[in-house]
Amino acid sequence: MYALHEAVPIPVVDPSQADGVYALLWLVVALPLAGAAILLVGGAIAPKPSDRFGHLLGTLLPIGSFALSLVMFLGLLGRDAGDRQVSQHLYTWFEVGHLNVGMDLLYDPLSALFLLLITGVGSLIHVYSIGYMEHDPRRRRFFGYLNLFVAAMLMLVLSENYLGLFLGWEGVGLASYLLIGFWQHKPSAAAAAKKAFVINRVGDIGMSLAIMLMFVQFGTTSFSGISAVSSGASDNVLNVLGVLLLLGACGKSAQVPLQSWLLDAMEGPTPVSALIHAATMVTAGVYLITRSNFIFELAPTAQTVVVVVACVTLLWGAVIGCAKDDIKKALAGSTMSQIGYMMLGAGLGVGGYAFAIFHLLTHGFFKANMFLGAGSVMHGMDDDVDMRHYGALRKAMPVTFLTFAMGYLAIIGFPGFSGFWSKDKIIEVALADNWLVGLCALLGAGVTGFYMTRLMLLTFITDKRWAKGVHPHESPKVMTIPLMVLAALSVLGGLMLAGGWIQDFLSPVVGTPPEEDLPVPALVISLLAVLVVAVGVATAWFLVGKRDVPRTAPQDVSFVTRAARADLYGDAINDGLVVNPGRRLVGGLLGMDRHGVDGVLTGGPVAIGAVALTLRKVQNGFVRSYALSLLGGVLLVVLALLAVNLA
């Protein structure tokens, strides 16, 4: 197996007991969790008053968590690098035999950055939702679900052991199911929610098996315990553990082959899409791989599998994004591709962990910005999602256009914008380790330039193609102010790289990145990446910007376009390999149960019952019947005696 990088020392999780403001760590999770309880349980008891203030309460509590997270982060900056891990023991969750699992929380540089992203971007999405969901009769319930989503994700990134992480992991799955299917009157929304739930359960099998194997192998599920002894485990065990964890990550982060739920999840309200794609669910897999660095660093085979899955996914998602006319689904394909970049960075090990998290953070800013911008466009276009029905919206919606443009420039990697810095570092590390992997990352950057430019042209630049009676207009301030904040972060997010801050800050968790042996100077790689992106942008301009855009998608297209429109036949592959064989297997087992097992078990009693029914007719209570039976019996005896004597 080809080693992607040289071995480096692996940090051991060794936190100190939480004190001071860190004693309030539990409150970061408890605030949104309390919001969910009040809005969902309390709201069911007293719906009228909670409907009036529910959206405000549901927004203020995550903001409270953000304020607390910010104070803790500033406190962490004042500590020495070796003193930036603290833990808080809340209570013993359960104790069975040798397995003792505590409800313990871990706060370190990795969880600190996630807390700021989840609560910060999550709070902005809550504020935006006040306007977006203003006329929805179930708005209070919607905010309750949002709070539950945030609380589960916070639990996921704060737990000090894999079982606590799994608790948050399942909570995120439940909340996403509730939110994707929020408009349950739409059959498509209900189906999308069910699809996301089922596919994520496939990934959860990997997570469950990994946790069981950890207990068998190490006798514990805590990060500190496993990181201290993982170097003593065999290569096979560590590689199996890594692959099982990757299976879980593929489900939550929509990586091939468990990616097909992500595009259907666009059936949920747009703020849900922003929350899933930017601050919560899809980032969970990247967090899991990075948090488990003490396993993956010792499992080169599993690391290679992570890199292969990441390369396939980043190109898969990019190709899908090229052919979608639904603005949300184009952004969803983009998310799949960008998460592929993050997984690639994490798969490259110590050299890439910090840059994977860096891109995760900048992506959280510009993708939330663009998803909420898409919601603003839909708000002004009577909920039409087809970009072929837009065009020239820059004049009608100037704030949405300008803020969206900041996100666009960031995601294509325009020099100076946040995405340029974060994606460029992953491409550098990829080229340093393996030229083929680096080439995939470069190619993905070019395709990103194409599909995002196509989206901008179809939506904001080309001639207007609105239907008669549609009057596009700017969204209210409660929706545009979060867009402005996220646009600013999309521009300035790259400052985290200044002076190597992000690498130094994360080094106590993921190790210090080694000096990369680049095939060419870093400046040349940056120029090459910009050139590839420019080719993608120019291609989109000539294919879309310079031509008339029909209101309906042309059907006389190439095979590649048809495949991209069909999500590269992801559903067909799943149906052929898993769903249909599974359905036939279940049908066969059902038939065997009905006609085989049930036949044997019920056939005997039925036969006995039939005999009993026949014999019961003899016992009818009439004397003449009994006399006839007696006569018959006597005749049978006589005939038997004659037969014996004459024989």
pLDDT digits (tens, 9 = 90+) for 242-273: 999 999 999 999 999 999 899 999 999 999 99
Count each helix (H run) and each strand (E run) in the chain, helices first.
28, 3
Least confident among 183-187, 414-418, 618-622:
618-622
Rounded to an integer, what distance in angstroms lies between the CA atom of residue 31 and that of residue 246?
31
Could you give the percent of the chain with pLDDT greater than 70? Answer: 98
Model confidence band, residue 8 (pLDDT cutoffs 50, 70, 90)? low
Rounded to an integer, what distance in angstroms lies between the CA atom of residue 570 and that of residue 552?
24
Residues 526-579 pLDDT 10s:
999 999 999 999 999 999 999 999 989 999 889 989 999 998 998 888 888 777
Residue 126 has pLDDT above 60, yes or no: yes
Residue 508 has pLDDT above 80, yes or no: yes
Least confident among 83-92, 509-518, 545-554, 606-615:
606-615
What local confidence, expressed as pLDDT, does residue 112 receive? Answer: 97
Model confidence band, residue 615 (pLDDT cutoffs 50, 70, 90)? confident
Q: Which residue has the higher pLDDT, 646 or 325?
A: 325
Report phi then psi at 386, rounded to 5: -85, 115
Q: Which residue has the higher pLDDT, 107 or 629?
A: 107
Give the mean pLDDT of 389-400: 96
Rounded to an integer, what distance in angstroms lies between the CA atom of residue 292 and that of residue 285?
11
Give the mean pLDDT of 173-200: 94
Model confidence band, residue 7 (pLDDT cutoffs 50, 70, 90)? low
What local confidence, expressed as pLDDT, does residue 393 receive? Answer: 96
Rounded to an integer, what distance in angstroms lies between the CA atom of residue 60 and that of residue 126?
9
**How many Cα atoms are found within 13 Å in the side-chain-facing hemisphere of 249?**
29
For the chain, give every domain's residue range: 573-646
Residue 1 has pLDDT above 50, yes or no: no
Contact 286, 341 (CB under 8 A): no
What local confidence, expressed as pLDDT, does residue 6 receive? Answer: 52
What local confidence, expressed as pLDDT, does residue 399 receive? Answer: 97
What local confidence, expressed as pLDDT, does residue 619 receive? Answer: 72
What local confidence, expressed as pLDDT, does residue 590 receive? Answer: 84
Model confidence band, residue 74 (pLDDT cutoffs 50, 70, 90)? very high
Give the mean pLDDT of 408-430: 96
What local confidence, expressed as pLDDT, does residue 4 receive? Answer: 47
Q: Which residue has the higher pLDDT, 10 or 14?
A: 14
Beta bridge partners of 8: none
What local confidence, expressed as pLDDT, does residue 410 receive? Answer: 97
Residue 628 has pLDDT above 80, yes or no: no
**How many Cα atoms are found within 13 Å in the side-chain-facing hemisphere of 342?**
30
Give the mean pLDDT of 37-58: 88
Could you give the percent of the chain with pLDDT greater than 90? Answer: 78
Cα dihedral 502, 503, 506, 508 in deg (nearest 10): -150
Least confident among 299-313, 501-515, 612-626:
612-626
What Rg, from alpha-carbon coordinates, does the chain have?
A: 31
Q: Crossing angle for the helix pair 283-291 and 327-347, nearest 10 degrees? A: 0
Structural tokens at position 510: 């993921």
Closest to 252 measured CA to CA, from 214, 287, 299: 287
Residue 626 has pLDDT above 80, yes or no: no
What local confidence, expressed as pLDDT, does residue 625 receive? Answer: 74
pLDDT averaged over every residue in the chain:
92
What local confidence, expressed as pLDDT, does residue 361 receive? Answer: 97
Report phi then psi at 221, rounded to 5: -120, 10
Contact 285, 206 (CB under 8 A): no
Edge-first strand order for the sheet with 16-17 is 16-17, 86-96, 99-107
Residue 454 has pLDDT above 80, yes or no: yes
Coil, helix or strand at residue 277 = helix
Residue 645 has pLDDT above 80, yes or no: no
Give the mean pLDDT of 380-385: 94
What local confidence, expressed as pLDDT, does residue 300 receive? Answer: 94
Residue 618 has pLDDT above 90, yes or no: no
